[in-house]
A and B are shown apart, each in its own frame.
Chain A
Amino acid sequence: MDHNHATSFVIIYLMLFFQFKHFIVNFLFPYDVPRDTKKPFYDLSALRHSFFHGAGVAVCIVLALPNMIGFAILAGLFEHVAHHCIDTAECKIKDISSNKLAPAHFRIDVDQLLHQLTYIAILVALKWWNLLVLGHTEIG
């Protein structure tokens, strides 16, 4: 198996792990994340929810790449912060024309897109981490 072959598989099964993690934490865990604008940024239940997401990302990376624990921890922290910011922002998105809170389905849609983009950002960061920090040209 050449380097590119191994790297392609890592990218795909890491994303596969992220999708299952996202489903399990977002949809199967008890859902008590605040969905209104009145909850503060440091709401404990929201922080716990995003912590599970961050920990899930770290576990996914360690499962896929057991020798990249440092990157896994950093990516987990990034996911924790990004997920919390996205979820908090979701509660506050306003309709530009009316300056009222946007409909729930609109906010959830944007939220889901941003979570998927976060996972892609982690894949890109993984590539650069290998290149810049570890000095490898390929992952795997």
Chain B
Amino acid sequence: MTTVPIYLLVILLLLLQLKHHYLDYRNQTDDEQLAKTDLFRRSAIIHSIRHGAATALCLIVVFPAHPLFAVIAGAADTVVHHLIDFFKTRIEGWNNSLIGHRYIWGVDQLFHQLSYLALILVVGCVLH
């Protein structure tokens, strides 16, 4: 983490926030939302792939010299996003009355944000 300018990391964070808002809230269909209870449902997988592809796009915009890294990070984001969404819906199904939808949604959003920070940490450590 020595040579990536800080402003690029902040721009990447900004793009990831906009990407997250658009794909998780504006672009998500009811079918995608309902499909998340099943790890292998097509529409849930498509939702996660969209997130991964958009993450790769954000990385290519900010770091155009590292397309391979962008693709690998996008693939990782696809898997991580899919797992977070899956576990969120499963926990919601088990404990909806006990914990409450709002708390589980907060945990879900926290984990998505932590995954973006982990990506930025990796970017800072790996890219030059």
Contact = CB atoms under 8 A, between A and B. Distances in A.
Interface of A: 2, 4-5, 7-9, 11-12, 15-16, 19-20, 22-23, 26-28, 31, 105-106, 109, 112-113, 116-117, 120, 123-124, 127, 139
Q: Is the interface of B mostly helix, strand, loop or mixed?
A: helix
Contacts of B17: 113, 116-117, 120
A117 B21 CA distance: 11
A11 B25 contact: no
A4 B3 contact: yes
Interface in B88-119: 102-103, 105-107, 109-110, 113-114, 117
Contacts, number: 74
B124 A20 contact: no
Contacts of A31: 102
Contacts of B120: 12
A42 B107 CA distance: 29
A19 B10 contact: no
22 contacts: A4-B1, A4-B2, A4-B3, A4-B6, A5-B1, A8-B1, A11-B6, A11-B10, A12-B121, A12-B124, A15-B13, A16-B114, A23-B107, A23-B109, A23-B110, A106-B25, A112-B109, A116-B113, A120-B14, A123-B10, A127-B6, A127-B7
B84 interface: no
Interface of B: 1-7, 9-10, 13-14, 17-18, 21, 24-26, 102-103, 105-107, 109-110, 113-114, 117, 120-121, 124
Given A4-B5, A8-B6, A19-B114, 10 more contacts: A9-B1, A12-B9, A20-B110, A27-B106, A109-B24, A109-B25, A112-B21, A113-B25, A120-B10, A120-B14
